[in-house]
Amino acid sequence: MFSALLDQAIQHSRQRVKEAFVEFSHADAKQKILELDLLKQLPSPEKIHLPYRDLSFDWVACHELIERYSTHERQVRLLRELLRIARKGVFISTVNRFHPALRWLKKERGLSLLTSFDIKALVDVLPGKPSWKLGHVRVMGFKAYYFLMIWKEGCEPEIVTTERIKNKETIENKIETISSNVNKTL
């Protein structure tokens, strides 16, 4: 019974991670997207090279595979390779090493499950200091999956500031005033 509930919660969480990728990539049908979610899609850990030209895809996603690379150096090399083939950005999802239930479900040998600190350490050594954000999905109240979003230069999301929100509200108020004045004259 508990196992079935946990499986259902994990599937729901994986779906939420996929939805986060759709939101990250703006889900435009015209964009070229590569989603890696099968082990056979990954290059060997010894020679990390994907068979694509530079900037072949707008967005690249790698779901629950980075932990297959057993060392920090190999994980960084995979991340750099994903960035090489992406024009706009990269999305990485991985299981949280410290989730009380998921780490026992992922008992495969050679996996290097990550923490949020491990993920930050991966980003810190990337060239050019790209814009990035770390999100998470919870299972049983604990952070179960992390997802790392990295934007290449010029593709960063628009930052909304409080000043901008106030300006927008001012503009909306002026539009309402103008609309009501036009309605009164008609």
Q: How far is CA 97 from CA 10, 65, 100, 118, in A?
A: 15, 14, 9, 10
| Domain-wise residue ranges, the chain | 2-155, 161-186
β-pair type (142-151, 86-95): antiparallel
pTM of the model: 0.78
Confidence band of 8 (pLDDT split at 50, 70, 90): confident
* Nearest-angstrom CA–CA distance, 22 and 45: 28
The CATH number of 2-155, from 3.40.50.150, 2.60.120.650, 1.20.930.40, 3.40.50.1370, is 3.40.50.150
What pLDDT was estimated at residue 112?
A: 81
With both helix axes pointing from N to C terminus, report the angle between 116-124 and 72-85 in degrees, rounded to the nearest 10.
60
Least confident of 8-17, 22-31, 177-186: 177-186
User: For residues 155 and 128, is the Cβ–Cβ distance under 8 A?
Assistant: no
* Nearest-angstrom CA–CA distance, 124 and 127: 8
Percent of the chain scored above 90 by pLDDT? 39
Helix (H, G, I), strand (E, B) or coil at 171: helix
CA atoms within 13 A on the CB side of 29: 0
